[in-house]
Amino acid sequence: MPLKTNVDEPMTINMTPMVDVVFQLIVFFMVGTKFAEMERDIALHVPQVSAIKAITPAPERRVINVYRDGQISMDRQIVTLDQLESRLSAARREYAGLGVLVRGDAEGPFQNVASVLGACRRAGINDLGISVRIEGQASN
């Protein structure tokens, strides 16, 4: 049986790569800090504003209700198809990305909803949605 005559060296962890990475991080953050200081030292006075708000806030989606008897309401006012189209066209001129959500009565004919969708398209509305209720959930 062969006997071991040499003694194995104990396992050691080579720390050199970790020290190199830490050194690189230190240099990176020191240089980054220096650039941030240089940015603040530029002789530039930024204008001030009184309130921070969007210049023109995006309007919420317009909700159009189509009732069982064919009546149409927008902004809680009963309108005809022609009035709906003209109001949507005017609103779209103010904000081109205007969205519309159509809510039709489940018991009413779908033709009424289709007519409203057509009027929305003629008014130039591209963001159209139809509201439905998931089966088994309570209505609001």
Q: Give the tens place of pLDDT for each residue, 4-57.
A: 677 777 788 888 999 999 999 999 988 877 776 666 656 666 667 666 655 666
In terms of pLDDT, which residue wins out, 43 or 124? 124
Q: What is the mean pLDDT of residues 84-112?
A: 90
Alpha-carbon distance values, 66 to 48, 80, 81, 107, 132 (Å):
47, 11, 11, 11, 13
d(CA 20, CA 26): 10
pLDDT of 140 above 60: no
Q: What is the pLDDT of residue 60?
A: 81
Please classify residue 89 by burial: count the beta carbons closer than 10 Å to its beta carbon, then call 0-12 exposed, 13-18 middle and 19+ buried.
middle
pLDDT of 65 above 80: yes
In terms of pLDDT, which residue wins out, 128 or 3? 128
Domains and CATH numbers, the chain: 62-130 (3.30.420.270)
Q: Which of 29-38, 68-77, 80-89 has the lowest mean pLDDT?
A: 29-38
- Among residues 123, 124, 104, which one has the least CA distance to residue 114? 104
The sheet carrying 77-79 orders its strands as: 77-79, 72-74, 62-66, 99-104, 127-130
In terms of pLDDT, which residue wins out, 131 or 49? 131
